[in-house]
Amino acid sequence: MREEAKEAGLGLPEPVSLQPEPQSAGAADTSFNQEAIGYLDTLYRTALRLTRDPAKAEDLVQDTYVRALRYQHSYRRGTNMKAWLFAIMRNLFWDRFRGGRPEALSLDGDSEMSLYDTLPDVGAQPEADVLDGIAAQEVIDAVEQLPELHREVVLLVDVEGFAYKDAAEVMGVPIGTVMSRLHRARRQLQRSLLGYAREAGIVSEGKGESGE
């Protein structure tokens, strides 16, 4: 950082495009840093669900910011900084904790074609009010038990509100893959949460199958 700033201060001639902008050590940097730190909580809670470990989550988030600072010249101002930071963190997570990034081609056999292969029967579903009785910790556990590829898409889309296209960018996959992973993840979540609801007696065994 400091070396770059010094160089920039020397008033080096063109080309400057490969360097941080000359002003970047001053006002522009501050705004980058301020915007970036604004995503701390959202990055941290995602890291916490990904790593399932507060100490690892802290390390992951800290390294994400260190890397973001180092590569801030590659961030295009006015574009989606949240998605950019999440992409950095996501890649770090896979590299560090999972021994490398998953290829865009499906590890889990997902494809757009199979997206709706197992549609639920209309009428064979419990009613939404069973959800009211489910404890927060049960939901967190269910999310943390999802395979990482499914967990991350739920965290991005459902928890952090990413649009499919932004989640696709973060994950480095086509939108169709986002949709199919999301579909599978939600089906699994629904299964485990409704299973919990049944055990807890919130919804009785076989409710829904009877229909009327």
Q: Which residues bind another protein (CB under 8 A)?
A: 33, 36-37, 40-45, 48-49, 54, 58, 61-62, 65-66, 69, 116, 119-120, 122-123, 125-128, 131, 134, 136-137, 139-140, 143, 154-155, 157-161, 163-164, 179, 182-183, 186, 189-190, 193
Q: Which among 188, 87, 94, 81 has a CA at the least distance from the CA of 139?
A: 188
**Nearest residue (CB) to another protein, 111 versus 125:** 125
- Per DSSP (E only), the strands in 102-160 are none
CB of 119 vs another protein, minimal distance in Å: 5
Q: Quote the least distance from Cβ 147 to another protein, whole Å.
A: 16
- Least Å from the CB of residue 130 to another protein: 8
Nearest to 87 by CA among 12, 160, 1: 160
Closer to another protein by CB, 71 or 116: give it.
Answer: 116
Alpha helices, DSSP H, located in the chain: 2-9, 27-37, 40-51, 54-70, 81-97, 136-144, 148-154, 164-171, 175-199
Q: How far apart are CB 191 and another protein at their closest, in Å?
A: 11
By C-beta, is 101 or 186 nearer to another protein? 186
Q: How distant, in Å, are the alpha carbons of 86, 153, 194, 203 from that of 189?
A: 23, 12, 8, 16
**Closest distance of CB 128 from another protein, Å:** 4
Nearest to 182 by CA among 95, 99, 108, 97: 108
Q: Which of 18, 27 has the CB closer to another protein?
A: 27
- Extract the tokens encoding 58: 């802290």
Q: Which is nearer to another protein, 16 or 120 (CB)?
A: 120
| Token duo for residue 72 | 């801030």
CB of 102 to another protein, least distance (A): 22
Using omega within 30 degrees of 0 as the cis cutoff, is the peptide bond preceding 15 cis? yes
CA distance 203 to 196: 9
Nearest to another protein of 8, 57 (CB atom):
57
